[in-house]
Chains A and B, each alone.
Chain A
Amino acid sequence: MKDKKDLPVICCEGEAPECGCGPAEQQEQNYAAAGYPWQIGLVKTPVGPVPRVATALERKDIVGGWKARWGMGRMDYRIPPGLYAVGEPDHNSPVLVSGNYKLSFDSLRRELSPLNLWLIIIDTKGINVWCAAGKGSFGTAELVQRIGKVCLKDLVGHREIILPQLAAPGVSAHKVFKQSGFKVVYGPVRASDIPAFLQMGCKATPHMRQVSFALRERLQVIPVELVSMTKPVLGIILALLLLNSLVLLRDGTFPASAILLGQTLAHVAPFLGAILIGTVLVPVLLPYIPGRAFAWKGFVLGVLWTLAFVLFIAPAAGWLQMASYFLLLPAIAAFLSMNFTGASTYTSLSGVVKEMSLALPVIVISAGLGICGFIVSLFV
């Protein structure tokens, strides 16, 4: 407590409302200690009992992780912010900081099994560290406040905290030092490199500092993209059912027939293909598709799919329908691929803005003409 002016949060002193060790904080710590499946008892410390985190994942965690990847219940998938212990940490143990998204928390703790350290969980609103840092919820202010709240100065003798490197877009290391007295050391990008990083005396190799986007990582983001397509696909099926019913009614056939189902299915197939191109095939083949813009990559594969469909699967009914397919299907694939920019790890805001300003008008016009052409082609 050398310089009060530099410390917006003063721990264990007076009646400061933010005081980490007041009754309010006691409650929060109790809440954190309320017996979670990933908790093994408590560690006694000068700042009160601290929950100890299990470093082995249970079946429930793994199932939960799968569900979160498929978009189920992920927004409730949060860890209470606060202080946690890993192993048998003491006065000199390193302090790691991470976000409170359960998937990040799980992938972090399972890498920490032989280690003894402290873990500070920041409230990132259940969002992963990188996105939270990019959008401001993992920031300097939140970090400084949390350091005060958990009474870190009384817990450890050293003045160093290790942050994930991907928190750097949100945190100013020099400001954290000024405001809290703790020096920020940026750790590796991936949790799996933490043991090696600590062993080397908190030094990261260039490899540890580099963000990757390998096939495995690309596959991990596909499920959620697929789930988000459920509504559009249902919409397309309904629209095609309706259009085909109208066609059959006009021809004097009662629409509730096998013909209706058959025709609708035949018409759904090319659209389903275009959607799968944009949400699965482009992410999988991302580095191998020529061109740089995501929309372009989707467009290329979309054209190939349309060609393959009309040549080998089902010839279009007339030139108008063929033209409509070529206008509509690549546009769908291009749009969905463009949306994958957010899941990728190497796109810039300026780049995506430029890509959108060029691609979006083309996509909208092409798809609009395609839809009109397709509807007309059903009735002529």
Chain B
Amino acid sequence: MKYRYLKNIVTLQLDAQKCNGCGMCVEVCPQQVFALSDMVSSIQDRDACIECGACAKNCPCGAISVRAGVGCAYAILMSKLKRKGVCCGDSCGCEVDPGLLGDSRDSIQESGVSSQEKG
């Protein structure tokens, strides 16, 4: 059974014009979001995207953009409160580094607005 999270929310974008068909995105995606046909990649299962950023980071053509981050409520809460601490109450042992989560903190407000717009 494949898990499904919220619909129509992820920031993943693919510019097929720039794609060279190397298939790296298909390879690195842990959620099988992409598929390759006729040497061009396309987004097959957009809502499965977890915004891990692996595809964008490994696309040699810069054809993919995504606001990458970790889907962890605890980390987001801590960074909103501007507290540096250990993420997930030790469960992953990740440290919340306000610097690393910095761009996601800025975009929290953006997406807060856009999600209301979408209703």
Contact = CB atoms under 8 A, between A and B. Distances in A.
A100 to B, nearest CB: 12
Main secondary structure of the interface of A (DSSP, over half): helix
B30 A131 contact: no
Binding site secondary structure of chain B: loop
B71 A341 contact: yes
Contacts of A351: 5-6, 9-10, 71
B32 A206 contact: yes
Interface string A326-360: 00000000000011011111111111111111000
Interface string B81-119: 000000111111111010010001001100110010000
A297 to B, nearest CB: 11
Contacts of B30: 165-166, 189, 209-211, 345
B5 A135 contact: no
A127 B94 contact: yes
Interface stretch (A30-38, A87-95, A223-231, A262-270): A223-231
B70 A342 contact: yes
A191 to B, nearest CB: 15
A302 interface: no
Interface stretch (A43-51, A59-67, A143-151, A171-179): A171-179
A117 B87 CA distance: 34
Interface residues of B, number: 54
Contact of A343 (B31, B91, B95, B115): B91
B89 A346 contact: no
Contact of A352 (B28, B32, B76): B76
A350 B77 contact: no
B70 A134 contact: yes
A169 B57 contact: yes
Contacts of B64: none
B93 A101 contact: yes
B5 A346 contact: yes
A2 interface: no
B19 interface: no
B57 A210 contact: no
B3 A287 contact: yes
B15 interface: no
Nearest to A170: B57
A105 B35 CA distance: 32
Given A168-B28, A174-B60, A354-B111, A348 B50 contact: yes
Given A341-B71, A346-B3, A350-B11, A135 B60 contact: no
7 contacts: A171-B57, A174-B60, A292-B7, A341-B72, A342-B75, A346-B4, A346-B31
